[in-house]
Amino acid sequence: MDSVRFNNLDKTDSFRKLLSLGEAVDIPSTLTPERIRSCAIPIGGGLSYNYAAKGLSEKVITLLSDLAEEQELAKKYRLLYEGEIMNTGEKRMVLHHLTRGQLGAEVQFEGKNLRTFYLLQQQRIDSFAKQVHNGMIKGSTGKKFDTVVQIGIGGSDLGPRALYLALQGYVETLSGGQHMKALFISNVDPDDPNMVLSTIDFETTLFILVSKSGTTQETLTNMKFVIEKMGAASIPGLDPKKHMIAVTSQTSPLTGSDDYMEAFFIDDFIGGRYSSTSAVGGTVLSLAFGEDVFADLLAGAAEADRLSLSEHPGNNAGMMDALIGVYERNILGLPLTAVLPYSQGLHRFPAHLQQLDMESNGKSVNRFGEPVSYSTGPVVFGEPGTNGQHSFYQLLHQGTDVIPLQFVGFRESQTGFDLPIDGSTSQEKLNANLAAQISAFAMGKEDENRNKYFPGNRPSSIIYGSRLTPAALGALLSHFENKVMFQGFLWNINSFDQEGVQLGKILTKKVLDGDVADPVLQGYIRLLSG
């Protein structure tokens, strides 16, 4: 690692130059058809990233390119996927890329080739899923499984759930459709398991307990909750052990337990929010959709990982997206990013990105544990268009703050069936809306009535492709993972730990142990217990 420097952002020459530029770029003056064509970078999975409506001068783009070089983004990516300890806080490797491909030198741990290990897990999952689908593995009362319920929280919930919802429409169009319906239980609020369990048949339901450590309070509670309710259902012959599998690490207390008929493994090198392409996402998605769909998703992610290898942001969409984000955050001082997918299937994808981005880069110390003196990760939020247009876009267009926008769009719908109504199909209407919004945000509109005036100059980028296929979705996932990683390198922070969740856990334990000498805890507990 001695050949790579880990400098804070504000110690780099190119950042200082960017700061001193003070060059405000007027988007309308630059947004020509030529520029729209020239600002496209392939992502993988048939997707492209286009930043034409970002309003960046050539000078800024050059300095951002210099910054990428100065912060050695490509080299640090290589260190990461080749097994350097890039999660410095927890002293761990960061290997989620290996779950979908071998980008460089092999990575060994305790004599084990980790690519082989992750592949093996996916093969075991494929084989298990096949046996569930063909009825070789049945529920304890002899019925075929038709429903899978994932019990997990955070990265064991948001990513897999977003991907499941994003592919339902696609799989709907395949012959046979879904193999199994998938549901998710995450919250420790008893209303969550109660409501999910009120809709399922225990005899035909397979539960997946997902917890890397095997100690997640919410998840273990919900697992026990489910088992108790299964028992209370008094169904002759029903055996919870035959309805429960686990995704966990080999060192977790769940491994080897008789309570699970099967276990698939991840390890400490797959962070929760980066685990969708590991067994954490693979198990539920393979059971619901079959192994081919999940294999296509992995292939799309692997392609995007490879395209992110380029040293030049002009050929590296994840890197360019990261650089522009840092420019907006640290030079323009904008604290937010809105993610606006024009595809109903992606309706929970922003919730996954919220975790991915905010948990990775919502940090105030650099990778050496020293406070940084600049802003880091932004807040990420979003809802699908056109819904958002009828909701919060008012503020995006005419509010007092400028919010950078990240659009996503596709030429074709996922489900295919469409109708011409009043001269255009629904998909044509959807994309007419999308093009109109990008133009409205960028160009604005003069009006003497200031209430009808649109300032424009509101920057956006768009990720687009022909259809939201499994490969496109995998590439989309990888694009954002790599963007967040590159931003962590730019800010010189560790994007792979989450110390900010610890204090709440400690205090929760105190409360549950009855140790509430603390007057603040006492005050709020009293308030919440009436």
Residues 363-422 that bind a copy of itself (CB under 8 A): 363-365, 369-372, 374-377, 379-381, 383-387, 389-401, 403, 409, 411, 413-415, 417-419, 421-422
Could you give the string, one character per residue 156-185, with x where binding to a copy of itself holds by CB under 8 A and - elsewhere? -xx---------xx--x-------------
Q: Under the criterion CB under 8 A, does residue 42 sit at the interface with a copy of itself?
A: no
497, amino acid identity: D
Among 408, 450, 478, 489, binds a copy of itself (CB under 8 A): 450
Q: Under the criterion CB under 8 A, does residue 92 sit at the interface with a copy of itself?
A: no
| Residue 431, token pair as written in the block | 């994309």
Instruction: Please state, in angstroms and rounded to a whole number, the distance separating the CA atoms of residues 454 and 443.
Output: 8
Q: Under the criterion CB under 8 A, does residue 529 sit at the interface with a copy of itself?
A: yes
Catalytic residue among 58, 91, 390, 448: 390
Catalytic residue among 112, 224, 241, 505: 505
Nearer to a copy of itself, 127 or 426 (CB): 426
Quick one: which segment of 116-124, 236-244, 473-481, 493-501 binds a copy of itself (CB under 8 A)? 493-501
The DSSP element (H or E) to which 353 belongs, if any, is helix 349-361
Among 438, 473, 476, 484, binds a copy of itself (CB under 8 A): 438
Instruction: Please state, in angstroms and rounded to a whole number, the distance separating the CA atoms of residues 49 and 479.
Output: 9
Instruction: Please state, in angstroms and rounded to a whole number, the distance separating the CA atoms of residues 356 and 340.
Output: 16
Q: Under the criterion CB under 8 A, does residue 443 sit at the interface with a copy of itself?
A: yes
Q: Under the criterion CB under 8 A, does residue 30 sit at the interface with a copy of itself?
A: no
Question: By the 8 A CB rule, do 305 and 125 touch?
Answer: no
Instruction: Please state, in angstroms and rounded to a whole number, the distance separating the CA atoms of residues 79 and 367.
Output: 15
Give me the sign of the Cα torsion angle 65, 69, 72, 75: positive
Residues 117-136 that bind a copy of itself (CB under 8 A): none
90 is catalytic: no
Q: Under the criterion CB under 8 A, does residue 442 sit at the interface with a copy of itself?
A: yes
Catalytic residue among 359, 383, 479, 483: 359
500-503 long-range Cβ contacts below 8 angstroms, 24+ apart: 500/359, 500/362, 500/363, 501/359
Instruction: Please state, in angstroms and rounded to a whole number, the distance separating the CA atoms of residues 339 and 336.
Output: 10
Instruction: Please state, in angstroms and rounded to a whole number, the distance separating the CA atoms of residues 303 and 444.
Output: 37
3-state secondary structure (DSSP) of residue 328: helix
Nearer to a copy of itself, 132 or 351 (CB): 351
Q: Minimum CB separation from a copy of itself for residue 447, in Å?
A: 9
Nearer to a copy of itself, 135 or 190 (CB): 190
Nearer to a copy of itself, 2 or 191 (CB): 191
Question: By the 8 A CB rule, do 269 and 110 touch?
Answer: no
Give me the sign of the Cα torsion angle 77, 116, 209, 87: negative
Q: Minimum CB separation from a copy of itself for residue 130, in Å?
A: 25
Quick one: which segment of 4-12, 117-125, 131-139, 514-522 binds a copy of itself (CB under 8 A)? 514-522
Nearer to a copy of itself, 305 or 497 (CB): 497
3-state secondary structure (DSSP) of residue 136: coil
Exposure class string for 237-266: b at 16+ Cβ within 10 A, else e? ebebebbbbbbbbeebebeeeeebbbbbbb
CA distances in angstroms from 226 to 75, 149, 229, 277, listed in the order given: 47, 10, 5, 26
Q: Under the criterion CB under 8 A, does residue 59 sit at the interface with a copy of itself?
A: no
Residues 270-289 that bind a copy of itself (CB under 8 A): 272-273
3-state secondary structure (DSSP) of residue 252: coil
| Residue 124, token pair as written in the block | 């075991």
Residues 181-220 that bind a copy of itself (CB under 8 A): 186-195, 198, 217-218, 220
Report how far apart the first and last C-alpha atoms of the chain are (Å, whole number).
57
Q: Minimum CB separation from a copy of itself for residue 94, in Å?
A: 16
Helices (H), 365-425: 393-398
Among 45, 160, 240, 345, binds a copy of itself (CB under 8 A): 345
Question: By the 8 A CB rule, do 463 and 339 touch?
Answer: no
Can the peptide bond before residue 199 be classed as cis, meaning omega within 30 degrees of 0?
no
505 is catalytic: yes
Q: Minimum CB separation from a copy of itself for residue 337, in Å?
A: 11
Nearer to a copy of itself, 265 or 393 (CB): 393
| Residue 287, token pair as written in the block | 């059971």
Nearer to a copy of itself, 24 or 417 (CB): 417
Nearer to a copy of itself, 32 or 108 (CB): 32
User: Which residues are part of the catalytic machinery?
Assistant: 359, 390, 505
